[in-house]
Structure 1
Amino acid sequence: MSRNGSDSEFNNPDDDALGSEISQEPPDPVLLRLMAYDECLRRGGQLAAGGLAGIEGSADPEESSLYECLHLLDRAWPRHTVAEVDEFPAQIGRFRPERVLGMGGFGIVYLAFDTELNRQVTLKVPRLHVLASPKLRERFKREARAVAALDHPHIVPLYETGEIGPICYIVSKYYPGYDLAEWLSAEQGLVSVRWAVQLVRVLADAVEYSHSKKVLHCDLKPSNVILTPDMAESAASANSDLPFIPRLTDFGLAIVLSEDAPQLTTTVQAGTPTYIAPEQTGTGFGKVGPATDVYGLGIILYEMLTGRPPFQGTGVAEVFDLVRTADPVSPRTLRASVPRDLETVCLKCLEKQPGERLQTAGQLARELERILQGRPTETRPPSAPERAWKLLKRHPTRAATIGSLVFAIALVAASITWYAMSLAEARRAFAEKQKEVEVEREKGELRQTLIVLAGIRERSQSRPRGWSHQNLDELRKAARFASDPAVARSLRTEAVRALSAIELQLVKTALTDLDTYGLQYSPDGRFLAAGNNLTDNDHDDSFVRLIDTGTWREVRRLKLPVPYGPQPHDRPEGVRSLLFSPDWNSLVIGTRHGRVGAFNVATGACELNIQADRKAIIELGCYGKAKMLTTLGEDQRMELWHWPVTEGSGYLEFSYCESLAAADDRLFVTAEGKLHTIRHHNSLGVALDQSATIPARQQVTLLPDRRVAVTRSNMSGTDALILFDSNSNRVCRTLFDRYRNEIHDGELHSLAVSADRRWLISTAGDGLNLWNLVSGEIVATLPNSVSGRVSAAFDPNRPEFAVSRDGRVEIWRIADSGVWDSTLRQCIKVSSIDLSANGKYLAASIIPQVTRAHGEDIAIADINRDVCVFERKIWQPLCSAVALSNDGRFLSHTSHHDGGITRITQIDTHGHLPDAFLSPPVADHGKPIFAEDGSRVWYSGRSNAGRVGFISQVTVAGAVAVPEDSWHWSNDESERKLRKSGILSLAVGKRLVAASSLDETVRLFDAATGNQKGEIPLSPKIIDHLALSADERRLFCGTRKGELLVLATDDGRMLWQETAHTDAVTALCLGPGGLAFTASRDGSLAGWQLSGDEPVELFRFGQFYSNVRDLDLSHDESLLAVLVEAEQGVRLLRIDRLRDRLQELGLNW
């Protein structure tokens, strides 16, 4: 029995209750009068005294009693909104109604008290139209008879039924709780799959029992399932973990089957439309029978699994149409966690034809029990032909349409074939003519592409602002017509040049009305502070403007309070210096009048306001971790203050001061034409380190490591920026403008270094220079056209910087395509490199930025994290070459010291294997090469004794390096040739070892035995670099005259030759996939694809200003390491990114 008593989900409660049964009866005058009075009560009318007697035809006592019953029901369930009726019928027989449990179009359900048996019961009373209709009255009694025959723990039991006057009633046991629909609504639709299976299995058992008693429910839905929250009884009775006991109720639409008619044909549309079976909607779907209830159980299971009924619509007609014609959405589509077997069982219950469903509720219960036990079910999903046949049977009109369409397609196909054959000759003639037109078109496109290419090259030479982006746009258009290989190569070359360019992009103009003197980013990058110069004509008297870098809006203006007493200065008090304290959360300013102020960044409150100097404070600094503030004033006095500032901690006076930079344990001051290093001692005060003083002038700043100072100097005879290592007290880098004698016209205004140590900015009255700290070159400039101070500061989190120029504060982004990267930027010098096989690590011989002694270090850098993961001092003073094994376990390095010493280092233990000495002693040798499996290391060179060439291999066994006999060769024909045969380059494969020598010969050896297999004379060519292809059939060689050669290893034939560079080839590498790179002393880099006997040139790139000393390519050919002699650090070409960017431009290689 439903708690809400509802038999429908739609607005008209009578549609599903009465259906077509009422429409088939003639109009009854008594029923019409009763319905008129019911409508009066619905509108809020009252029964006046004697009102019944005044109704025409109401003299019949039985009809009068019906009016009284109708009035009694309206008091229990008021439908109008004029007044609230809280009363219930005082008594129905011995039952006293307490409250309404639910109501619907068929009846009203009360919670009542049995005054005789002293217990609570549910009391169901029919509605007026039920009492007035003999058929519906009989249906109400049929429900009572049907339920009376059922005795099952999961069916609500019937206590009694009876009549009191015209009112008939049904009394059932009362179960406190809620119905399944309410529970699903509270659970928001989706419940545990296991609970859903257990609950429907219990209901299927109850329905199977009902069918055994010849009773069909015919109205199964969530609202007709009562849930009693009794955990103990649930576990005992249902053998499940459900938190309640489900029970079936409301058998108002039940059908009692006879022995002679186990199934009934029905044309009555009875039941709730959303939960109705197809056979209940009308003819065409068979008879109502046990499969009808199986369909209802399937709907309940579907809704519990998916959170929604299978068919939903806006009206009864639409829902009926969906029930008849549409297939439900697969439960796994709505909820992926539903098991596939459970989905099959659920959809089997929802078949349109009753004969295609599970035939009994017991069969459904057994299938669900198998699912709970993890056993396979007997139900199988329909095959594709079965699904197609069902669809055609369900839509015969569509089937006929599809058949006609197939026939039409076949007819059209035949016609097209005939037409194509008839036009074949005409097409061939047209193709020949089109080919002639295409040739002319390609010639025109080639001429146009060459014109575009000339413009691209002109912009590449002059480099106006935005040239790289303009060139890339032009290249994207020209790439569509680059059918000629030479033109395509030229376009790729220009594309690589444009992608390698560094350009500046204007992000935002933050301020336009401020004469800025100094810019500073907060340490977290959230704020940008701009100092106000406060000229005589300035209407803004604030000292600092604070800008939010997220929105680029001004959030606060900061101003120092005016000091008391007469003012000694007659000019405005503007800002001369700014400083964000790293740990103090404060912004400190120095003014033109010598005052020092501090503001809380979060609140803007002034925390400090002191007179620190007689004249302007030209520089501020945070010294050490002891919270000390450093000031540098125009009165030539540098002073340290304890924070919060109460008194000075020491000072130094100079004859002329210019700039200051503070580190953790030292200060750098440019004064009197020198860079001074100053240290502070608690007992001695400020002390000047005389040993750390070099010629310098104007501005000074620090690199992120706070050990290297950057300042301006002409100690080398050229105006330049120098990097001074305060640990070794020497200049470790010099930066100068390659095209001008001075780095700036006039005095430096500011210096700034990016957090990643890649970029340096210098500013002066003529504008801004952006320096690449890896290459040491100026990559971009911003001119300044008005007088005033040009200041700059780097964003600590993004590749952006702020600059004040031309009366504005602008934010610029350093635009970088990401094709080029760098690592080991902290090194003064890198002399040899070797990439690991996976391209993750780079081994190098370096002179570090912070030197511990003379000589070099061996280092391994993690390229992705840009950190040095291994570094140690080598025991010999100079290292000539390094090599890293493919597995990354061993590092080999060689030295000329003591006649040629090699050493192998085990990386994981940082320990050395026993020393391996080359014999005979070496005067010069090439790079060591690890075998592919890491078991051997190969060395080559020429000896001091007669310059005899040799090849040596060291077998790495466990933690021991075992030297093997060196291979020597002698030429019996000529002692002279023997003394000229020092090895220049070595290439090692699995089967072959190739070596080039000074006698203009390439020799081939068996890698296993060391026996010489042949010689390739190349006079007068001297091969400085060579590499073996992956199949060891070809040698790729570079000569001292810039030539590139491809040699066959089997017969020594020269397969290809080209003068690719204007100077000697200084580096060469070849990947397993045939991708090769060559570099020259002229600073050019070329890419090649060695897929056959003749390499295909991919691009040629003349980016570098100095000799490229070394190249190394990762085994997956995604990364190229480039070592340039005059640069600091190692450049990295991200080949995979370059390929992607070229592919976007349509310039694939």
Structure 2
Amino acid sequence: MCLLDAALDLGDAGADTRAPFTSPAAGKPGNFGHFALEEEIGRGGMGIVYRAREYASGRVVALKMMHLLHLQTPEMMSRFESEVRAVASLDHPGIMPVYEVGHCDGIPYFSMKFAERGSLAGKARDHAGDPRAVAALVAKLARAVFHAHRRGVIHRDLKPGNILLDADGEPYVADFGIAKIIGEHDRTATATRALGTPAYLAPELARGGPVEITTAVDIYGLGAILYELLTGRPPATGSSPLEVFRQIAQGAPPAPRALVPALSRDLSAVCMKCLAPFPDNRYASAAELADDLDNYLAGRPVLARPPGMAGQIRLFCRRQPVVAGLAAGIAVLLAAIGAGSTIAAVTVAAQRDRALHAEQSAQDRLHDSLLMQARLGRQTGQAGQRFDGLDVLRQAAAIRTTADLRDEAAALLTLTDLRVGRTTQVRESPNFPVSFDPALERYLVCVQKDNALSLRRLSDHAEIAAFPGTAKNVLSLSPFSADGRYVASRHYDGPIRVWDTRELRMAFELRQTPPKKRPYQSVRFWFGCAFSRDGKLAAIELAEGGYTVHETATGKELARFPDKFSAYALALDGDGRRLAYADRGAGMVEIRDTLTGEKRHTLEHPSEVFCLEWSPDGALLAVGCTDALIYIWNTATGERHRVLDEHRNRVTHLAFSPDGRVLASTSQEKNIILWDPESGKKLVSYPDLGHEPVLRFSRDGKRLVSTNFQVNATVFEVATDDGISLAFSPPGRSHNAVVTASVDFSPDERWLVSSTRRAISLWDLRRHRLAASLQPGGDTETSALFTPDGAALLVANRATGLARHPFDPANADAPLGRPALLMKEPDFTLSDFGASKHHALLANRATGHALLWPLDAAGGALRRFAVQPEALSAALSPDGKILATTTSGQSTRTPSFKVHLWDAATGEKLRELEGGHGGLVRFTPDGARLLASGHGPFAAWDLATLTLVPGAPRLTETLGFSLSPDGRYLCLSGGDKIALYQGKNYEDLVIQLQPLGVRNAGSRVTFSRTGNLLAVQESDGVVRIWDLPKLRAKLAELSLDWPDK
């Protein structure tokens, strides 16, 4: 295959011309994770598309998976990931929706809506002779493309083959495999990277050379689709790609009217404006193209071919013949009365209206432009995105407050961000060590005269005190103690001096004979002195090997632990009782008792340890290694918690924020990264800075200082989510949370339980830690809920039955007691407590039963109901009289996919309601409404009339939903939507929240008992918790809070 062939799809089908390659999962139809592969429906250079069926729901989907041939090809992996990011960020009726994103056996995939009627490719004849239908179809596509552009996504490969049709013939834009996310990497393309199909490629790309990729590329693609549907051929044809390129580069194709004389001049002009050789001559936006097609369909003048006065009169007369005749008569009469003055008055009024309209249009365009600027900045993921985005939204809100601004503000407020606040010179030479106190108000630096040390204010660099040096250079300085009082200096001729910066004196000196040969990287990268958080203890490495422990105020030696000669890293936990100790020439870290040296844990690493850092609460230890990885350890159990992988060279320094929720790291490739140490997610990075081991947060966590072996120090401003949002990620991989999974708050809102098919996770929200993990048995559906009194955790597993775990919130380190097995009967999952404090509801897909399980004596006897086959979800009305159930409907055993209502006293079926297939069912707290989610439209019924209530949301594929305990809010979650509604019938959409990434959001959602917290569990088991009062307070500062109803 030649280079050009490799860069371009040569045909509309995007066929792969390489020799067939069969993957274990993608050869013959079979199983792929939780999908049954039925038929291969497409194959290209990047991936394979199957018609598949989900085992859990029975839904038919199009499943696209990465070709195994490209799993080790970074460029192709990047293309696949870009497609996922692009499509997952879009939500429009004209864009093919994505249902789920994931990996199976290391192969990335995503599932989307199945298009029964295939693509537009080869269907030009079906549209021949009906130009109005063609115009209407392309107008729909243009509005979908405009939606993508507003969200910063440029398709770059619009062609008939990438327009899919559903069973009703409705078009969808699909295949964002080479989409451009604006702001991602650079914004240019060259000839060797001009991915796309030659016959539909915009001229600026076909000409070769560097070119800015803009939305005009997609305007051309829409015009090419319009051209082919009108004429039966693409704008450019040829026997080879080079010949096609030459045609495109030479100028515009023949006008459609030249090939089909019967075509309207206006429609032909619209098409040719899209295909203008230069981007500036095309429509300014896809929305403008859609509007012009609407003009053609309505018989109005089109922008592409503005008529003269006579033409306008002819168009008006053609549209309104009766009105035109009357107008002519009136015009004659007015002319007889005094046409001159009337015409003048009309002209003045028209000019005024045009001016007002132009001013409003300009304000609207500015508003939309500012919104897009904020959104695109956020999508880049670059440092400064939150700061800049909120500044832009403030400007937009001054013009007009809209729901889009609120949604974008909420997304920005959850980000952790940093930007340079100040760069200032702190030393005369890059070779002079420097260290900053925890308030970032003072710093200690070596000065050239007499190798002395100078304590200075950071604000104005005024000297506070001078400390004497020795006859030799100062090699390195330790970080200040957390109380800001002590700092140590290491001198070339051997001594290590500890300075009291509060009393401005030397606290003590450890005199040592300097080694003949210093270990590699141990001069400026010195981690051989550590202070306890209160500053009372100091651990200092010995020149001959090992370390001593001292009382800092007096220098009294409390313990000595000799070891072999090497460079060591030392770190004391918060209360000074535990010491992390590592030979930097080896891969082992020991956690020891500080004074006795008793070994608590040994932590093995595959490469040499470079630096250590305890979290402020002592629960985690971060270890930076020479393999560019950061290992996070649970210090209570000695188990590895996370591995952070973004750096490309040795990790040189680590620093936790004061609240422990952010970990900062630097590396030899000069890159500062902020992480969430709990989930392991990279939050933001700042390149080209941070090689030197100087990295410190201020006490309030709002600033971060770093140096780079230059004379200057950089002080960053740091912004976090301020507690608006917390993320929790279960350890390990391959978690799968389905609709029968659960997420639930404890009554006191301090704890959260979540479940996936593999495990149950208990989260301590106050400490932002995983408190316990349970594996009830097998890779099957598992659910867990707190009992209403918070005294126990109920766990249902389809393989092992129902168990009760005593729960003691006072024992934060081991809150769960030994479980008691309540029921061995398999296949049940917990559904709901509803308004009852005395019962739990369970549903059984295998037998079609529902159980009303008593939680206490007031709950009476166990009640069993034979409901419907494949029972999925159950709910009990607040008065305890009606039981509602749904079905998963995965097989032919299910005669009805509807919601069933039952008499809770007799078990008699009362009614069937249309909806709820594969979803959940719940009653509103007042018992007036019944709600059900599913693969079809979301449904809300009035229980008095059993009719759908007006105005309620009717979103499809929203399997997860929850009501706040007071019934005020409804949260719907599905696809990439997390939508919050209020109002009597939940008709008012107040905000759409962003999922954490390109995952399929919303396997389950729940509110806390007060309604203040909202938890959303995504399909990979990651849970995000929103604090709604805090979010609203921040939105109110931006004048973007929603009104209460």
Shorter-chain TM range is 0.5 to 0.7
Cα deviation per residue 1:841-877 (whole Å; 9 max; x = unaligned)?
A: 2432389xxxxxx99786775x6xx699x98999978
In the superposition, relative to structure 1, how do residues 1046 and 586 fare at CA in structure 2: closer, same or farther (>3 Å)?
A: same
Is contact 2:658-2:699 (8 Å) kept? yes
**Residue deviations 1:346-399 (CA, integer Å, cap 9, x gap):** xxxxxxxxxxxxxxxxxxxxxxxxxxxxxxxxxxxxxxxxxxxxxxxxxxxxxx
Alpha-carbon shift at residue 1005 of structure 1 (Å): 3.3
Which of 694, 699, 705 in structure 1 is aligned with 2:605? 694
Q: What is the one-letter code of the residue matched to 1:703?
A: S
Q: Return closer, same or farther for 1:926/1:655 CA change in 2, 3 Å cut-off.
A: farther
Q: Partner amino acid for 1:601?
A: T
What letter corresponds to residue 920 of structure 2 in structure 1? H
Deviation at 1:497, TM superposition (A): 2.0
Q: Does 1:1134 align with 2:1044?
A: no
**1:545, 1:1053 → 2: CA distance?**
73
What is the aligned partner in structure 2 of residue 710 from structure 1? 622
The reply on whether 1:994 has 2:884 as its aligned counterpart is: yes
**CA shift at 1:1029, angstroms?**
3.4
How far the C-alpha of 1:937 sits from its partner, in A, is 2.4
Q: Which residue of structure 2 aligns with residue 580 of structure 1?
A: 481
2: CA distance, partners of 1:1029 / 1:690: 51
Whether the aligned pair in 2 keeps the contact of 1:770 and 1:780 (CA below 8 Å) is: yes
Question: Which of 629, 632, 641 is the equivalent residue of 1:723?
Answer: 632
Contact 1:1121 1:1133 in 2 (8 A): no
TM-score by length of 1: 0.49
SS in structure 1 of the partner of residue 478 of structure 2: strand
Does 2:641 align with 1:732? yes
Q: How far off is 1:751 after superposition?
A: 0.2
2:918 is aligned, of 1009, 1018, 1023, to: 1023
TM superposition shift of 1:588: 2.6
- The code of the aligned residue for 2:629 comes to A
Q: Deviations over 1:95-149 (max 9, x none)?
A: xxxxxxxxxxxxxxxxxxxxxxxxxxxxxxxxxxxxxxxxxxxxxxxxxxxxxxx
CA distance in 2, matches of 1:770, 1:626: 26
Residues 1:756 and 2:659 are matched in the alignment: yes
Residue pair 1:499, 1:819 contacting (<8 A) in 2 also = no
Change (3 A) 1:950 1:827: same
The 5-angstrom pairing of residues 392-431 of structure 1 reads none
Contact 1:670 1:699 in 2 (8 A): no
Matching residue's letter, 2:900: R
**CA distances 1:497-550 after superposition (whole Å, capped 9, x unpaired):** 222232225555565335487766657x48644454x6xxx45833353547xx
Displacement, 1:996? 1.9
Of 661, 665, 683, 2:571 maps to 661
Residue matched to 1:808: 712
Task: Call closer, same or farther: CA 1:826–1:709 in 2, change over 3 Å.
Answer: farther
Structure 1 position 709, deviation (Å): 1.4
- 5 Å matches for 1:237-256? none
Q: 1:826 deviation in Å?
A: 12
913 and 530 in structure 1: CA distance in 2 versus 1, 3 angstrom threshold: closer
More displaced 10-residue stretch of structure 1: 791-800 or 641-650: 641-650
Q: Take 1:882 and 1:491, find their aligned partners in 2: how far apart are those partners?
A: 37
Shift of 1:916: 8.8
Structure 1 partner of 2:842: 940
Q: Tell me which residue corresponds to 1:621.
A: 530
Give TM-score, length-normalised by structure 2.
0.53
Match of 2:978 in 1: 1085
Alpha-carbon separation, structure 2, partners of 1:726 and 1:1030: 44
1:468 CA drift (Å): 3.2
CA–CA separation in structure 1 for the residues paired with 2:719 and 2:632: 25
- Between the aligned residues of both structures, percent identity stands at 12
Structure number, greater radius of gyration: 1
Query: Is the CA contact (8 Å cut-off) linking 2:476 and 2:491 kept in structure 1?
Result: yes
> What is the aligned partner in structure 1 of residue 375 from structure 2?
457
Q: CA deviation at 1:447?
A: 3.8
Check if 1:782 corresponds to 2:697.
no
Mapped to 2, the partners of 1:895 and 1:520 lie a distance apart of 54
Higher relative contact order (CA 8 A, sep 6+): 2
Question: Cα deviation per residue 1:1044-1102 (whole Å; 9 max; x = unaligned)?
Answer: 444555436596797868x87455445644422233465x5333335437553632424
Retained in 1: the 8 A contact 2:382–2:685? no
Q: CA deviation at 1:596?
A: 0.8
Structure 1 residue 723, shift from structure 2 partner: 0.9
Unaligned runs of 5+ in 2: 1-347, 890-896
Aligned-partner Cα distance in 2 for 1:681–1:502: 35
Mapped contact 1:843–1:884 kept (Cα < 8 A): no
Q: Which amino acid aligns with 2:910?
A: K
| Structure 1 counterpart of 2:490 | 590
The equivalent residue for 2:412 is 498
Q: What amino acid maps onto 1:595 in structure 2?
A: P
The Cα shift of 1:731 comes to: 0.6
Q: Distance in 2 between matches of 1:915 and 1:1116?
A: 28
Report deviation, 1:925.
0.5
Q: Residue type matched to 1:983 in 2?
A: L
Given that residues 679 and 687 in structure 1 are in contact (C-alpha distance below 8 angstroms), is that contact kept between their aligned partners in structure 2? yes
Query: In the aligned structure 2, how far is the partner of 1:754 from the partner of 1:796?
Result: 8
CA distance in 2, matches of 1:732, 1:908: 22
Read off the aligned partner of 2:414 and give its amino acid letter.
S
Conserved? CA contact 2:940–2:952, under 8 Å: yes
Provide the C-alpha distance between the structure 1 equivalents of 2:561 and 2:784, rounded to a whole number of angstroms: 50
Deviation at 1:648, TM superposition (A): 9.2
Aligned length: 658
| Correspondences of 1:461-610 after superposition (within 5 Å) | 461-463=379-381, 465-479=383-397, 482=400, 488-509=402-423, 511-513=425-427, 515=430, 525=439, 528-532=442-446, 538=448, 541-543=451-453, 545-547=455-457, 554=462, 556-562=464-470, 572-580=473-481, 586-610=486-510
2:797 to 881, 892, 896: 896
Superposition pairs of residues 135-174 of structure 1, within 5 angstroms:
none
Please name the residue that 2:871 is paired with.
Answer: 982
Quick one: distance in 1 between partners of 2:762 and 2:927?
32
Shift of residue 791 of structure 1?
A: 1.4
Q: CA distance change for structure 1 residues 607 and 706 in 2, over 3 Å: closer, same or farther? A: same
Q: Does 1:746 align with 2:644?
A: no
1:627-686 per-residue CA deviation (whole Å, 9 max, x = no partner) reads 7643347x683322444557795445468646332342342315334132153697xx85
Gaps of 5+ in 1: 1-429, 738-742, 848-853, 971-977
**Partner SS state of residue 478, structure 1:** helix
Question: Contact (CA 8 Å) 2:673, 2:685: kept in 1 or not?
Answer: yes
The amino acid across from 1:498 in the alignment is L
1:582-631 per-residue CA deviation (whole Å, 9 max, x = no partner) reads 69x54333334442101222222123233334245542124799976433
Change (3 A) 1:578 1:992: same
Of residues 825-834 and 764-773 in structure 1, the stretch that sits farther from structure 2 once superposed is: 825-834
What letter is aligned with 2:871? Answer: G
CA distance in 2 between counterparts of 1:817 and 1:917 reads 41
Aligned: 1:820 with 2:724: yes
The whole-number CA distance in structure 2 between the counterparts of 1:1076 and 1:891 is: 27
Q: Is the 8 A contact 2:580 2:612 kept in 1?
A: no
Give yes or no for the alignment of 1:772 onto 2:669. Answer: no
Match of 2:585 among 672, 676, 698: 672
Equivalent residue of 2:1042, what SS?
coil
Contact 2:872–2:888, Cα closer than 8 Å, also in 1: yes
Letter of the 1:1133 counterpart: D
User: Aligned partners of 1:780 and 1:1003: how far apart in 2?
Assistant: 49
Deviations 1:476-504 (A, max 9, x none): 44346558xxxx33222222222223222
Retained in 1: the 8 A contact 2:416–2:718? Answer: yes
Which whole-Å deviations, capped at 9, do the CAs of 1:792-829 have from their partners, x for residues lacking one? 11223443332224532343332246361439899999
Give the drift of 1:719.
4.9
Q: Displacement of 1:464 after TM fit?
A: 5.2
Structure 1 889/1122 Cα, relative in aligned 2: closer, same or farther at 3 Å?
same
SS at match of 1:966: strand
* Equivalence map 1:887-966=2 (5 Å): 888=789, 890-896=791-797, 899-903=800-804, 921-931=825-835, 934=837, 936-942=838-844, 946-957=846-857, 962-966=860-864
In structure 2, the CA distance between the partners of 1:926 and 1:651, relative to structure 1 (3 Å rule), is same
